[in-house]
Amino acid sequence: MSTPNPSAAIVIRPHGGQAFYEAKFRHDGRQIKRRIGPAWVDLDPETGEWLPRRGRVADRWFDERRAHVVAAEIVARHVAEADDQERVHRERRTNGASFREVAHAYLGWLQDIKGAKPSTLADYRYLLAEPGVPKKRGEGVLAGHIMAALGNRPAAKITTREVEDLLTSIAATGVSARTVNRHRAIVAAAFNYGTRESTFGLPANPARAADKRREPHPGPLVYYRVEEVEALARAFADGLHRTAREYAVSDAVGEVQRSEDLQDAEMVRVSAYAGLRLGELLALRWRDVDFDGHVITVGRAMSAGVETSTKSGRVRRVPLTDQAAAALDHVSRRSDFTDPDELVFCNTLGRTLDHWALRRRYRRAQKAAGLRPLRWHDLRHTYGSLLAAHGVDLVTIQSVMGHSALATTGRYLHARPASDQAAAFTRAFELSRVAPAGVPNDAAERHSQHQIERRRPGTKLGPSKARVGL
């Protein structure tokens, strides 16, 4: 038999010259007070008592009868919430922490202890979002696959089969194998954190044994030719990405738009001719550009709107090519925001550009110029590929692009002309001009010629070579 809810008394409390009804009751040995709302009463100046006000009770006001009804609802809601909390605590004591608790603790650890990039945290929070949460951009809500399947489950009792079922349900939505593997990776990372003795001490990581999806092998890097980079910049500068509606503006607004278009055009050139990542471009300040020394110092990047270190965490110096210098020089001739500490590429208020809006403009300019639909990041690949194509060594390219591993830079070797490689390979297989061991160097050429003559058709082999098969 269930225990009846406690009864509530209602009292009138003045506050700020206004009277309010308040519910008072006891639950689990504690006195609880909750405000109901404004009381439909007047103060009797002679007796000091609160008397019912005449007339119909106005909306959002309460007479004594309505106050009792709401007080009972408040009591019922409080008891239900307390029971839910007790159930959660009881399950926690019995089963341990839920996966939701482990995942949230993992995100907090990434942010506070490991100092993860804001963009990384945003991506992980997206994957670990609750189902039904509205999307930050556009319409619709997030599916929240992980939390829908595992959020309420005791983390210590989740099995590999449950993780496999989760991944299968995600794959059934038609997403790529890479997206499925991203969900697997974040679940595995949260469990790795939870298995540490200093955190939740979970017995195992069930995601570790879950199968990865086979991702297609990445093809060769795609990049623009210089002519295509210039065509894209011209499309920006000429405003070809703007709609007819955007042109129907005042002269003042039109002038602002033209300035934005010219800046976008030069930003494309700097990205392609200096190889900076988009976040590095957005954080670039004039003090980082040394025209006289022909160098750009890259030490910061924007990540989800927050200025942080570069991807590698190191500062690098990028040679300032004439093409990139010309683009930066054009930007430096604007009338404002050119002090050393101000941003090179900024909005009309001198603040950081919205990278989402920039990407949308980029897509429209790309289409207007009739170019291949490459990503903005492929402008950086253009830089590395063109350097490799013109014989710059990989170690130098690695340094100026800020790659942590030479293997990453090695992807740009595909841009080198096959004819150049064939010529180099041919030289490797030419007859050696160096004498074999035991033959003096000045006799190397005679030795090579002698070896050739010995193998000409009709040449009689000496006794030591007159064996079968020689």
Backbone phi, psi, residue 265, to 5°: -60, -45
Residue 262 domain-assigned?
A: yes
Q: Are residues 78 and 164 in the same domain?
A: no
pLDDT tens-digit series, residues 281-305: 999 999 999 999 999 999 999 988 8
Residue 462 domain flag: no
Same domain, 184 and 293: no
- Candidates 381, 264, 388; CA nearest to 372 is 381
Domain count, the chain: 4
Tell me: pLDDT of 261 over 60: yes
The answer as to whether 467 is a domain residue is no
Structure tokens given for 72: 């009972």
Tell me, yes or no, whether 116 lies in a domain.
yes
What pLDDT does residue 206 have? Answer: 96
pLDDT digits (tens, 9 = 90+) for 137-147: 777 888 999 99
Residues with Cβ within 8 Å of 159's Cβ and at least 6 positions away in sequence, in order, are 206
Is residue 96 within 8 A of residue 200, CB to CB? The reply is yes
The answer to whether 187 touches 212, Cβ cutoff 8 Å, is: no
Residue 439, pLDDT above cutoff 90: no
Which helix or strand (DSSP H or E) is residue 122 part of? helix 118-127
Residue 464 has pLDDT above 50, yes or no: no
In the prediction, which pLDDT does 469 show? 39
- Of the chain, the percentage scoring pLDDT greater than 90 comes to 64
pLDDT for res 2: 64
- What is the CATH classification number for the domain harbouring 253? 1.10.443.10
Q: Note down the domain range covering 444.
A: 417-456
CA-closest candidate to residue 277, choices 376, 198, 370: 376
Least confident of 115-124, 140-149, 431-440: 431-440
DSSP secondary structure code for residue 208 in this structure = G
Is residue 325 assigned to a domain?
A: yes
- Tell me, what's the pLDDT at 311? 86
Q: String of b and e for 76-100 (b: at least 16 CB within 10 Å)?
A: eebbeeeeeeeeeeeeeeeebbbbb
Has residue 461 been placed in a domain? Answer: no
How high is the pLDDT of residue 349? 92
CA distance linking residue 424 with residue 73, whole number of Å: 85
pLDDT band at 442 (very low <50, low <70, confident <90, very high): low
Question: pLDDT tens digit string along 196-233?
Answer: 999 999 999 999 999 999 998 877 889 999 999 999 99
Contact yes or no for 266/283 (Cβ under 8 A): no
pLDDT of residue 408: 84
- One domain, residues 303 and 385: yes
Q: Answer with the residue of higher pLDDT: 434 or 402.
A: 402
Residue that terminates a domain, selected from 95, 122, 142: 95
User: Are 196 and 240 members of one domain?
Assistant: no
Instruction: Quote the pLDDT of residue 218.
Output: 78
Residues 264 and 395 in one domain: yes
DSSP H/E element including 30: strand 30-38
Same domain? 91 vs 174: no
Q: What is the pLDDT of residues 370-426, one digit of tens each?
A: 999 999 999 999 999 999 988 898 899 999 999 988 888 888 888 887 777 787 788
pLDDT tier, 249 (very low <50, low <70, confident <90, very high otherwise):
low
Question: By C-alpha distance, which of 44, 384, 94 is closest to 220?
Answer: 384
User: Would you say residue 366 lies in a domain?
Assistant: yes
Exposure string over 390-423, b if 16+ CB within 10 A, otherwise e: eeeebeebbebbbbeeeeebebbeebbeeeeeee
Instruction: Give the model's confidence band at 470: pLDDT under 50 very low, under 70 low, under 90 confident, else very high.
Output: very low
Tokens of 36: 């109901």
Q: Both 119 and 188 in a single domain?
A: yes
